[in-house]
Amino acid sequence: MHHLHQEVFTCSTFWRRCERKSFYHSNWKDISVSQQHLKVCSLFVAFQTFLGKDDVSQEVEEVLAESRVQRNTKLVSVLQLLRTRAVRWQVITVVVTMGCYQLCGLNAIWYYTNNIFSEAGINSETIPYVTLSTGAVETLAAVSSGLVIERLGRRPLLIGGFGLMIVFFAVLTVSLTLQNNVTWLPYLSIFCILAIIASFCIGPGGIPFVLTGEFFQQSQRPAAFMVAGTVNWLSNFAVGLLFPFIQSGLQNYCFLVFAAICFAGATYLFFVLPETKNKTLSEISHAFAKRNKVSLEMQEMNHYPEERKSSAEQESNFTSSVDNGETKQAIV
């Protein structure tokens, strides 16, 4: 059930992702020259609709310029991606966010729910129905995150989500330790469980997947998602393998381990992660350029590699097509 938020988050943010220029790249491949004029008109209309403004020439030019380059660029392998200095910190950031996605302790929460509900005095027949409330909170938080992500940005939701998880993990540890002495503390434990789930879903639950797509150019994304998926499942395996030992060794203090992981992840993201909201791939890459210790020119060449030279003539022809008054008149 804990993966439900990812699907809900994806559905609720899909139409917003259409605003990003990379959404159109795959649709520009393998079309004849005679269709390009109509395609340009379609892109003008689409960007005018989603961005809510009339002058979208720059956005359309960027989309198609990169699309032409990508047609001449081969897919990058995982090894090539890891060796590319210009995206080194992007890869590290993806590894950190995906690792924290699984290691932040949400899976461990599900081990505790039935015991905490029982301690609160809920009978065994009612517990499955109460557990549904966790799914409802998960869905509501994921939908809310999808609705506000383009307004608040990725950084606040991601770092804020980890920060809230730290707070509620600490409170949950205290309530689990003292709940046998105070009658109302089991209910506080239930609240903390729901709050941890909501905190996870508003940021850490969906944004790592968004960042993986935003950090890399089209030819690098398959390799980037392979790295992200590998880290994701290895971290999931580690939690399932190690948590029983952590629980038996630390008892009620086991959640402090996950609070420490959330703190480490939030600290890293605070100092390293740039805001990617409404940023082009080039702008995001420039934000990482200094940390990657590459010049802006070299960072730019990462997105427009050697094949860029072979497409210079196509780019010139395309630019004249976009600037052509007939193209803009066709929209009217």
Q: In angstroms, rounded to a whole number, what is the distance separating the alpha carbons of residues 174 and 176?
A: 6
Q: Quick one: pLDDT at residue 272?
A: 94
- Check if the beta carbon of residue 198 is closer than 8 Å to that of residue 135: no
Look-up of token digits 């909501």: 198
Q: Quick one: pLDDT at residue 169?
A: 94
Q: Quick one: pLDDT at residue 148?
A: 84
Task: Encode the chain (332 residues) as per-residue pLDDT tens digits.
Answer: 555 455 444 444 434 444 454 544 445 444 454 466 666 677 777 777 777 777 777 777 777 776 766 666 688 899 999 999 999 999 999 999 999 999 998 888 877 777 777 776 677 777 887 778 788 888 888 888 888 888 889 999 999 999 999 999 999 999 888 887 888 888 888 899 889 999 998 888 889 999 999 999 888 999 999 999 999 999 999 988 888 898 888 888 989 999 999 999 999 999 999 999 888 888 898 999 888 888 766 555 555 444 444 444 444 554 455 455 444 444 44
The class of domain 79-282 in CATH terms is mainly alpha
In sequence order, the 6+-apart residues with CB closer than 8 A to the CB of 86 are 285, 289, 292, 294, 298, 299, 301, 302
Q: Quick one: pLDDT at residue 160?
A: 94
Q: Quick one: pLDDT at residue 263?
A: 97
Residue 37, token pair as written in the block:
């004029």
In sequence order, the 6+-apart residues with CB closer than 8 A to the CB of 172 are 189, 192, 193, 196, 255
Neighbours of 73 (CB within 10 A): 20
Instruction: Supply angle C-alpha 60, 278, 305, rounded to 5.
Output: 60
Q: Quick one: pLDDT at residue 296?
A: 62
In sequence order, the 6+-apart residues with CB closer than 8 A to the CB of 277 are 149, 150, 153, 154
Q: Identify the sign of the CA torsion 91, 97, 266, 244.
A: negative
- Check if the beta carbon of residue 200 is closer than 8 Å to that of residue 165: yes
Q: In angstroms, rounded to a whole number, what is the distance separating the alpha carbons of residues 67 and 72?
A: 9
Q: In angstroms, rounded to a whole number, what is the distance separating the alpha carbons of residues 49 and 60?
A: 13
Q: How many helices (H) and strands (E) does the chain have?
A: 17, 0
Q: Quick one: pLDDT at residue 308?
A: 44
Domain spans of the chain, in order of start:
31-73+306-331, 79-282
Q: Quick one: pLDDT at residue 264?
A: 96
**How distant, in Å, are the alpha carbons of 260, 285, 303, 314 from that of 280?**
33, 9, 12, 22
SS (H, E, C) 276-290: CCCCCHHHHHHHHHH
In sequence order, the 6+-apart residues with CB closer than 8 A to the CB of 30 are none
Q: Quick one: pLDDT at residue 314?
A: 45
Q: In angstroms, rounded to a whole number, what is the distance separating the alpha carbons of residues 322 and 44?
A: 10
